[in-house]
Structures are given as structure tokens and as C-alpha cells.
Amino acid sequence: MGGEGELATKGTKSTEGRKLAEFAAYLSAFRRTDLRQVVVNWSKRKGEGIVRMYGMTPEERFTAIESLLASLSEAQVRNEAQIEASNAAIEKQNAGIRDLVIVNRTLVEAQMKTTAQIEAVSAELREKHKATEDKLHALIEIVDRMIRNQQK
């Protein structure tokens, strides 16, 4: 690995796709530039080289570029699968949120009904308490009069 004319890579598979994508983006900006210079500049900019194309024939360069494009395509497919999985998870969470909103509305409506019932019962109890209080005062007056009448 790393010899002239070979496609050499560094890093783990998780970073390989990212590095290849960065290189392809950098390469696309220099379509008419000498490929060796592009690789050298990209390597200096990144601090490391992932592809060595020094001394390659045009066919070898083409093969190396095809290999890079194949790797990018594979990475794209993996990314699309991850995006689809993420979208499915997001949709599932959105459905859960919608269900929670419905439950919340139901609870709010039930609370409003309960509050109205409590207010109605409270008003009824106030009226009954007032009536009981009036009767108690009337009874107290009667007993008071009876006691005064007996004392005379």
C-alpha cells in the first residue's frame, strides 16, 4: 500500500467516506488543473494525503478516480439509508407528539368540566349554607325570646 500508481487510503472506514467526499469536492473545483498539483494542494491543506497519483498513467488515474467515485457512491447510499431511518424516527416522534396533543386537549376539556361542576356545587352549598344560617338565627331568636319571657 502506498506505492506509486496505487490508490492509498488512511484512516478508518468511518472517516474514509468523509475524506473522499472532501477530496472529490476539492477536485471538482479544479477540473482543468493538473491533477498532481490538486492532490498536493489538497494534501497540504488537510495535513495528510489520502490519494497518491504521482507518476500515474492516464488509465491509472482514471481507475483511481473511478474507485473514488465508487466509494463516494457507496457513502451516498449509506447516507441516504441513514437519512431515511432518521426521517422514519422523526415521523414516529411527530405521531407521538400529535397523540400527546390530543391527550392534552382531552385533559384540558375534562379539567374545564370539573371546574364548572365544582363551581356549581359550591354555589349550591353557599345557598344551602345561607338557608341553614338563616334558620339557625331564627331558632336563636326564638330561644332568646323564650328565655326572656321566662325570666319575666
**In the predicted structure, residue 17 carries a pLDDT above the cut 70:** no
pLDDT tens readout for residues 69-97 = 888 888 899 999 999 999 999 999 999 99
User: Could you state, in order of their start, the residue ranges of all structural domains in the chain?
Assistant: 13-151
Q: How many CB atoms lie within 10 A of CB 7?
A: 19
pTM of this structure: 0.44
Longest dimension (CA), the chain: 138
